[in-house]
Amino acid sequence: MKSHVFETQSLTRQALNYGITITEQHVQSFNIYLEELWAWNQRKNLIGLSVPRKIITELLLDSLIPAPFLPTQGKLLDVGSGAGFPALPLKIYIPNLKVHLLEPNQKKVSFLKQVIRLLKLSGIEVIKSRLEAEEPKLKAEAYDLITTRAFTNLSQTISWSSPLLKPGSRLVCFLGPQGQEDLKKLEPELINQAIKIDKVLAYLLPGKAQKRHTVIFIKTINQ
């Protein structure tokens, strides 16, 4: 499918600067995803960004930043999936992940299901609910990876996510420019939830003046 709005070929070059190798097949899938997002966003207002270049860098590329440090298989839970960032780009890039997209908003759930159909993705399911409502079921899954992007405050995210993770599993939080400040307040909650910081990824996206911070946490013991 040829992209009419998005020129994602430059994404391949940009991604290499972050240690991410994007194939032509990835580019084709990203094009389908972004074109569908663009069409829906005209009617449903799924995302706040309206400039294709910014959608590519600030949503798509940003979602892929932690990819080199993540497992290539296992179960991923994405909390508050919205229009699919970061979990859909990560699923496209790491296809062997089994993915659960947790999203309460019906129009966003419908969009996510449509993209999954268009891309013919397998091993991915949309759950229309909130984390607190699904916690008993999700805890039984024992996830290898949880991702969240601007879901709630960081301390609350960690306390909700920790019981759903197995020892050695990872929690990935996209914190934006304020990431270092958020982490300074976090030590008591990390100790309480048996979670430690594994990696802090500080990086500049193309065209941005402020560094973003994506943090990978690791669960240490069962609770």
Domain chopping of the chain, boundaries:
65-219
Q: Which residue has the tokens 């839970």?
A: 77
pLDDT score of 152 more than 90: no
- pTM assigned to the model: 0.94
Question: What is the 3 state secondary structure string of 111-170?
Answer: HHHHHHHHHCCCCEEEECCCHHHHHHHHHHHCEEEEEEECCCCHHHHHHHHHHHEEEEEE
Higher local confidence (pLDDT), 181 or 190 = 190
pLDDT band at 181 (very low <50, low <70, confident <90, very high): confident
Tokens (6 digits) for 210: 């402020």
- Distance between alpha carbon 140 and the CA centroid of its chain, in Å? 22
Q: What is the pLDDT of residues 114-146, one digit of tens each?
A: 999 999 999 999 999 998 889 889 999 999 999
> φ, ψ for residue 98 (rounded to 5)?
-90, 120
CATH classification (class only), 65-219: alpha beta
6 falls in which pLDDT band (50, 70, 90)?
confident
User: What pLDDT does 169 receive?
Assistant: 96
Using the predicted structure, report yes or no on whether residue 187 has a pLDDT greater than 90. Answer: no
Predicted pLDDT of residue 4? 65
Question: Based on the number of CB atoms within 10 Å of its own CB, is 145 exposed (0-12), middle (13-18) or buried (19 or more)?
Answer: buried
pLDDT of residue 80: 94
For the cut 60, the answer to whether the pLDDT of residue 1 exceeds it is: no
End-to-end CA distance of the chain: 47
Name the DSSP class of 85.
T
Tell me: the pLDDT tens digits for 68-111? Answer: 999 999 999 999 999 999 999 999 999 999 999 999 999 999 99
The model's pLDDT over 22-60, given as tens digits with 9 standing for 90+, comes to 999 999 999 999 999 999 999 998 999 989 999 999 999
163-175 per-position pLDDT tens digit: 999 999 999 999 8
Mean pLDDT of the chain: 92
Task: Specify the pLDDT at position 8.
Answer: 78
